[in-house]
Structure 1
Amino acid sequence: MLAVSWRDIILAVLPEATLSGGASGQAIAAAEGRLGLPLPHDLVELLRETDGIRAADGTPVVWAADQLVRDGDLLVVGGCGGERFAYELADPAAGILLKDRVVGTDLADYVVRALGPDTERSW
């Protein structure tokens, strides 16, 4: 569990961020039922605080609970166009992936990189 809140992390990196209310327990349970799997703990904690995150340019960094997608062995949690950021279902602790590369060692690392200046993005 984080020592600080997800809102604190997001606002520290992107102070002008507008955050939505958190997803309800019912919405998270509905997503898990629809996807047929439990969501990773860090994702659940984030969704409870803010149901999705968008970068300053509007790019969806983390989708809302009702937008999460299971794609084969991946749980896609964000992105747009050709970029899809995902957990590998076999090993969610391996980090957040873009195609076959790790772009965040965990969800917090990915969120900080995605919201930070372009120089922090390694993808």
Structure 2
Amino acid sequence: MWRELILEAAGDADLGEPAGEEALAAVEAALGQPLPAELAALLRECDGVRGRSGDDVVWSAERIARDNAEFRAAADFAALYMPFEPLMFFGDNGGGDQFAFVRTPPRTEVFVWDHETDSRSLACHGLAQYLGRALRETGDWYR
């Protein structure tokens, strides 16, 4: 389902090979919170999605675990930004802004974190809408 939706939005998108259950479990263990169901299903079909402009629309399971753990552990980030623990970043725009699901409390909407202002705002009402917009639209479509 997810591969078809992605390729319909952007036939030239670069899709990773499916992530195994071990990779998904490693994300959840590293972050201490479950993956959103839709994101886990997408990763089972393709472990990462790169858009036509080279943006990492959806990161690999390994990168989701690594980048989120690094953001949460960085002492300098703790001094600059609101806590990152409630968020699970999974993609970016190539310019520093990152896309996330809120995990505390769990939500299905996609939010964008602005790295310059530390604002966190609603970008899309779900993963399918996010993929369609991120793969079809250009510029700061999420503002």
Distance 2:131 2:10 in 1: 10
For 2:125 and 2:88, locate their aligned partners in 1 and report how far apart those are by CA, in whole Å. Answer: 16
Matched, 1:76 2:72: no
Could you give the per-residue CA deviations for residues 8-60 of structure 1, whole angstroms, max 9, x where no partner exists? 10000101123221100111011111111110100000000000111101111
- 1:87 aligned to which of 76, 101, 104: 101
**Cα distance in 1, alignment partners of residues 15 and 58 from structure 2:** 12
Partner of residue 10, structure 1: 6
- Aligned position for 1:23: 19
Could you tell me which amino acid in structure 2 is paired with residue 87 of structure 1?
F
In the TM superposition, what is the alpha-carbon distance from 1:120 to its structure 2 partner? 9.3
| Equivalences for residues 1-123 of structure 1 within 5 A | 5-68=1-64, 69=68, 71-79=84-92, 80-99=94-113, 100-118=120-138, 121-123=141-143
C-alpha RMSD of the superposition: 1.8
The 2-side partners of 1:95 and 1:45 are apart by 16
**CA–CA distance in structure 2, aligned partners of residues 49 and 119 of structure 1:** 27
What is the Cα deviation at residue 122 of structure 1?
Answer: 3.2
Q: Secondary structure in 1 aligned to 2:18?
A: coil
Question: Match for 2:33: what amino acid?
Answer: L
CA distance in 1, matches of 2:98, 2:26: 22
Bigger Cα Rg: 2
Match of 2:90, as an amino acid? V
Output the TM-score relative to the length of structure 1.
0.88
Identical columns (%):
35
Residue aligned with 1:61, SS: strand
Aligned to 2:123, the other structure's residue is in SS state strand
The number of aligned residues is: 119
Q: Distance in 1 between matches of 2:13 and 2:22?
A: 25
